[in-house]
Amino acid sequence: MEYTAEDEILIDDKFKDLLHSCEKICKDEADWNIIKKAFFLAKEAHKGVRRKSGEPYILHPIAVAKIVIEEIGLGVKSVVASLLHDVVEDSDYTVEEIGMMFGPKIASMVDGLTKMAGVFNTDTSPQAEYFRKVLLTLSDDVRVILIKIADRLHNMRTLGSMPINKQIKITSETIYLFAPLAYRLGLYAIKTELEDLSLKYRFPEQYEEIRKKLEETENRRAKFIETFNAPIIERMKENGIDFEISGRVKSIYSIWSKMQRKQIPFEEIYDLFAIRIVFQPSPLIPEKSQCWHIYSLITDIYKPKPDRIRDWVNIPKANGYEALHATVMGPEGIWVEVQIRSQRMEDIAERGFAAHWKYKQATISNDEDEFDKWLKKVREALNSPTENAVDFLDNFKMTLYTTEIVVFTPKGESRKLPQGATALDFAYDIHTNVGNKAIGAKINHKIESIFTPISSGDQIEIITSESSRPKADWLEHVTTAKAKQSIKNFLKKDTQNNIERGQELFESKMREFGINPSARVFRKVLPAYECSNKDEFYSKLGAGILTLDGIEKVLRQNSASKILKFWTIQLSNPFKFLSGDDKKREQGSDSNLPPVSADEPQFVIADCCNPIPGDPVIGYKDPSTGKIAVHKTSCDELTRLASQHGDRITPIKWSSHKAMSYLSIIEIRGIDRLGILMDVAQLITGELNMNIRELHIQSHDGIFEGYISLYVKNINDLNLIIEKVGKIKGIDKVKRLKGIKE
């Protein structure tokens, strides 16, 4: 469909607005010409094409280019690549043709931005394969990732026009990978907006509720900030410091996350904002010294909380973030976080990598800083021989959103690791061979297990042995991507060697008996040795876990007596869903989604979140079983699955369900008193007429806590129980647990 005259006016206006932004990056006529050339090529390539919202498609690359300039701070080549980023995918133009018109660098960037699923010829997730290809461009040009983040930001800003299953796929990808990636690249403002937009479309009611409450409390918050800031402003002026001070409200997503994590209402979150001081540094005094001087001035007024000082001035975060954070006791007995940073630190905090690179070039420094070190680790991970793109993505994600600790080698060299890391993680961070041969560690000169968690400030020496080798259970004791991948690589190689060794042993034994190792033979052997397949049998045999001492007896026995019978319990489907895949329509339904008949694909309740009727749900088609797993829309596992297998997400909803009960679990906590357990049981079984399956309570120091496993008919029943139990005298907390307790 051709663009209308109104469309052409809109396109022209948006492009003029982009050119206005380009004034800060274009140095000569050649820069202007290449941007205009890219625009006209993109406009021609996307001619007549519209987005889901109905607007001309060309507005999307224009918007991405504007984000790249205004919100990330990149230059001319990045703007050109942004304008062309969908041209190869959506038209007949090739990367080679782009190279001839715009040069090899821009062609390489466009190639990195072009969506190519299945590049690695594996049968894993196309989404994970695509992410891997995009991340591989980190080895060549970080700008490609930054443009991709700008592309995702604009897609999130215009997500309202997409259907619900697409929204879940895109928001899951965003929260699982793009927001952490933006954080790691130092794009704090973009990371925050991506998180907020994900929440807005995934949980619109909660998002709107928090937004309204922030709005309602704005005046009271502004008065408090004004009162808090007044003496600080006076003291800073007395000391001749050029500065700006402001109060920054926490993002809606971070507030929501804290409410979920701590199971508390909005009213119980007291750190809704932070005070930020940005100063213009004096050329005669080091920035670090000025940060600590300002800290001293503030703590002369307000008493600090000693355990809440965060010194990212002397030890910056891996994404380049530098600042001094302190929490002080303000008026009305309220703790307030104060962030102190120079203008340079502020630019890096807001613009991330682009600002980091600009300042590094300005100082003509060849020193490897924190960002360079992280990038080097990423490139090492990207070059590792990982075949499974889903494993790669999970491992890579672990390098993004982590609270860091700083530990030291015996010679005093500092190393950054994620919080929760063990001595074994440290060993692999030193070198793969050190990790593979580790048998123990000296932590602060005291011998400890290699599985011991380490803390900031620890000095660690790894004890190695040539006879040591990684074991499968090591994977449970490491957190870093490098450690996990190194262990997996070793085990994979070791397993393959064991399989080959085991196969040789078995075939040699069979030759002694004159037997050909056929399928009939394995139908006897595998059950006898409790192995599910040949590889497992060979691997255990090669590793010495199994022996062939009794193999002759196994082979002589009647095959019928040795075949293990596996029984499965087929539950009658106690619920009915509406699925987006059926062609029949439910009469009188308030939804456009069709009903599922008894012959349609089976539904199974996901154990990870255990939804019950009334919970908002979404379906995930399991390719191996053909069944649809029913997840709550808030399920973390669903977010992971949707981020990697978005094409398997299908919209469903509860429809008519039989009058039966569903297992659910609530956690309770309170002050122990005589008879409180009887009160809880009497309320649930007597007054509310619900069946309790299991009740587990522990009491210590006058406090009791535990969980109750019970059967309810729907979400209304569960909410009623939570409300009523919460009113029992002595009960402090009642909350629903996400999944099933083992």
Average the pLDDT over 564-591 and give the result.
38
Positions annotated as catalytic residues are 89-90
The structural domain count of the chain equals: 5
State in Å, rounded, how far the first CA of the chain is from the last one: 57
CATH of the domain at 671: 3.30.70.260
> Are 618 and 674 contained in the same domain?
no
> Are 536 and 600 contained in the same domain?
no
In a domain, 403, yes or no: no
> Are 34 and 179 contained in the same domain?
yes
CATH of the domain at 189: 1.10.3210.10
> Are 192 and 215 contained in the same domain?
no
Question: In angstroms, rounded to a whole number, what is the distance separating the alpha carbons of residues 84 and 81?
Answer: 5
In a domain, 374, yes or no: no
Range of the structural domain that residue 589 is part of: 577-654
What pairs with residue 273 in β-bridges? 249
| Residue 68 near residue 82, CB atoms below 8 Å | yes
Average the pLDDT over 463-473 and give the result.
86
The DSSP-derived string for 650-718 is: E-EEE----S--EEEEEEEEEE--TTHHHHHHIIIIIIS--EEEEEEEEEETTEEEEEEEEEESSHHHH
In a domain, 461, yes or no: no
Chosen domain end from 176, 197, 218: 197
pLDDT score for 452: 92
519 Cβ contact partners less than 8 Å away, ≥ 6 residues apart: none
pLDDT band at residue 601 under the 50/70/90 scheme: low
> Are 611 and 529 contained in the same domain?
no
> Are 325 and 221 contained in the same domain?
yes
The DSSP-derived string for 244-286 is: EEEEEEPPHHHHHHHHHHHT--GGG----EEEEEEE---TTS-
Average the pLDDT over 195-215 and give the result.
92
Using DSSP's 3-state secondary structure scheme, residue 235 falls into helix
699 Cβ contact partners less than 8 Å away, ≥ 6 residues apart: 672
**Is residue 399 pLDDT above 70, yes or no?**
no
pLDDT score for 115: 52
Residue (of 725, 686, 715, 713) closest to 615 by Cα position: 715
Average the pLDDT over 455-464 and give the result.
88
In single-letter form, the type of residue at position 500 comes to: E
In a domain, 112, yes or no: yes
> Are 41 and 186 contained in the same domain?
yes
Average the pLDDT over 303-310 and give the result.
86
pLDDT score for 397: 56
In a domain, 497, yes or no: yes
In a domain, 388, yes or no: no
In a domain, 668, yes or no: yes
Task: Give the model confidence (pLDDT) of 706-742 as tens digits.
Answer: 888 888 888 888 888 888 898 888 888 888 887 655 4
Chosen domain end from 601, 626, 654: 654
pLDDT score for 231: 95
> Are 180 and 300 contained in the same domain?
no
Residue (of 158, 141, 134, 147) closest to 67 by Cα position: 147
**Is residue 34 pLDDT above 90, yes or no?**
yes
pLDDT score for 527: 81
- Taking all residues of the chain, what is their mean pLDDT, rounded to a whole number? 80
Question: In angstroms, rounded to a whole number, what is the distance separating the alpha carbons of residues 650 and 652?
Answer: 6
**Which range, 245-249, 258-262, 684-688, 713-717, is most confident?**
245-249
> Are 164 and 63 contained in the same domain?
yes
> Are 673 and 699 contained in the same domain?
yes
| Residue 423 near residue 460, CB atoms below 8 Å | yes
Of 196-205, 321-330, 404-413, the range with the lowest mean pLDDT is 404-413
The DSSP-derived string for 47-73 is: TT-B-TTSSBTTHHHHHHHHHIIIII-
In a domain, 440, yes or no: no
**Is residue 134 pLDDT above 60, yes or no?**
no
pLDDT score for 292: 95
pLDDT score for 402: 58
**Is residue 180 pLDDT above 60, yes or no?**
yes
**Is residue 196 pLDDT above 80, yes or no?**
yes
Pairing of strands 603-605, 628-632: parallel
pLDDT score for 709: 86
Looking up tokens 């059950």 gives 527
588 Cβ contact partners less than 8 Å away, ≥ 6 residues apart: none
